Amino acid sequence: MSIVVTASKQKALLEDYPGTIHMAQFDAADGLRFGGGGSGILLRELPNLTSTDLGEGRNKIFIRGVADSSFNGQTQATISQYFGESRLNYSGPDPDLMLYDVERFEVLEGPQGTLYGAGSLGGVIRIAPRSPQPGETSLAGVAAGTLTQDEPGAELALVGNLPVGSTGAARLVAYRAYRPGYIDDPERGLADINSTDIVGLRASLSLEPHDTLDLEFGALMQDLSSEDGQYTDSGTDALTRHSAIGQPFDSNYFLVWATARAQFDFAELVSTTSAAQQAIDTVFDATPASSAEPLAYVEDRNVALFAHETRLAGSFGPVSSWVAGIALAGNYDRAARAFGAAADPSDISIVRSITVDTALFGEATIGPWHNFSLTAGGRFSWVRSSYEVEFVPDEQEIESRRSQSRFLPTAALSWTPLSGLIVYARYREGYRPGSVRVSGAGEDAAGTLFDADEMFTSEAGLRVGAREESRVWGGLQYSYSRWNEVQADLVTPEGFPYVANLGSGFVRYSSIDLGWRPFDPLVLEASAFLTTSQLDRPSTAFAGLNEEDLPNIADEGWRFSARFDQRLGDAQLTVSGSVGYIGPSFLAIGEPFELPQGRYHDTALGARLDLGDWGISLDIDNVLDERSNRFSFGNPFFVAEGMQRTPLRPRTIRLGVDAQF
């Protein structure tokens, strides 16, 4: 069975792909059982992913140790996320979509500037949902209850497939999940304040008007609401926090797309147009100890993304694969901020950014010739960015605009001395458009655009076998990334957001993953990574921080997992477990934000009994009930005190029943 790397955009086979890639495959039962975990499942299954932990719907995901900042802002993300062929985000946080009815995940380590353009410094995450199935009428669902510290939670999901005519089909996914809180607030006399409610809907329609043409239309929405933050402020393992007001968070995400696939004798054409909108509402308690009146900081943010790509991919003669295409992305990001009395905070600023990115790209692989293959490609991008900062009380407005163009090359050499074994070396580049820096106030306020981030990465590695078809499989890789003009969203010691240029630095990343199937029912897997990062050429504003580690990058991490399948008469029992470790890191560079975090274990244990059309599952997350600090930030106005901690969610037990008809 040949495994296709869909994210390569040219149907490259895994055994031939000259780069570092990680995959996770879900069958239909796994999609129902684990889909409610959202991005947390990706972080658990794929060891090269890490993230902040401000809360669901507001986290930043990092790949290969490429992390710019622990704080959210309007700077473009360091990774690109895709749902099928549609781009999910540009400058917003991870929308944390629930992953019901998802078939596969692919993570291409970056930078991926040649094929994916700006904002793929760390790499690309591609979520592959199940497509509508012509001729199939089916219904599946899951109902589950959870228990976290004696507090109940629940999830419900339904998946339906209906034929449309003789060659078309429609697929619908609907879900709702409630996660109980576990943080208490003695100051307000409240318990379990940080509960989360998630509601989502996804619909797709597939049509085949001709045997060489496939059309797909789809839409999804998700509303995620958290009643309060998930951090503590005691500086201990106690799950308590003292706040003058609640700090709710709400994320409404909406995506529509249309994709056409046409088969020609010489190539396949894929054309996708998508539009996404994310509305993010955040409230932080800003009440100092000396204030008799509660104060609040409120940010209402709206991000809209339009994306289009048309590409051709095929092969001919000595060229084993090639792809060429055009791409367009337009992103609008508006953040309105208010500060003051909690009952009626006053508007303080509105920040708008518009980015238009157009590109031509191509990549081709020649070979194999004597077991060697050569890959080369490039992307020409033209980007226009504009920023407007309006200071509401002063009626002062700053505008900055810039156009820039660049060429992003890639080259790789691979060697396949044996079937299933590939050794490769590769060079890549990536970038992000420059953000705006605001200095001064009132009539003296001014805005200056930063230069773009640039990343230059060389990597070498080898890969053998594949989980789906080998007894033994694994990979080993090393990369060195030079990162110039690192942009970062930061906060002042008083708690207000701003953008800074940290300077330049490097990231060294090594990883290994191994899998072994000693006999058919048992699968054992292990992986580990080591990271070294350093800001070796700080900007003037951070001149005293030479040789500082880059923020939020763990020095090391590892994961071990096991899965065992056993027939029990007409039923089948699956037992699985995993333990992972994320090493130490720091929240941010420089005092007072150089706060330690990490050094925690993530443990999981579960079992599912397959009864044919029905299944029963029992899962335990955080088996050891560990309360280590994942993330040293929860509120920008008091983070400088150094007392904030984000513990792992306490041990959670889930009992679920799923059905497929």
**Mind listing the domains of the chain with CATH numbers?**
4-660 (2.40.170.20)
Q: Parallel, antiparallel, or unpaired: how do β-strands 319-341 and 346-369 relate?
A: antiparallel
The pLDDT assigned to 438 comes to 64
The pLDDT assigned to 216 comes to 98
The pLDDT assigned to 445 comes to 54
33: Cβ contacts below 8 Å, ≥ 6 apart: 142, 608, 615, 617, 619, 656, 658
The pLDDT assigned to 59 comes to 96
The pLDDT assigned to 291 comes to 86
By residue count, the chain amounts to 661
The pLDDT assigned to 395 comes to 67
Phi, psi (5° rounding) for residue 113? Answer: -60, -35
CA distance to 193, 243, 298, 346, 639, per residue, from 341 (Å): 22, 14, 11, 8, 20
The pLDDT assigned to 428 comes to 97
Q: Which segments of the chain have a pLDDT < 70?
A: 1, 394-395, 438-448
40: Cβ contacts below 8 Å, ≥ 6 apart: none
Place of tokens 């030479």: 546
The pLDDT assigned to 439 comes to 53
**DSSP 3-state assignment of 620?**
strand
Could you tell me the pTM of the whole model? 0.96
The pLDDT assigned to 469 comes to 79
Instruction: Say which DSSP state 567 is in.
Output: E
CA distance to 63, 64, 126, 225, 410, per residue, from 556 (Å): 13, 11, 25, 33, 28
The pLDDT assigned to 444 comes to 53
The pLDDT assigned to 358 comes to 98
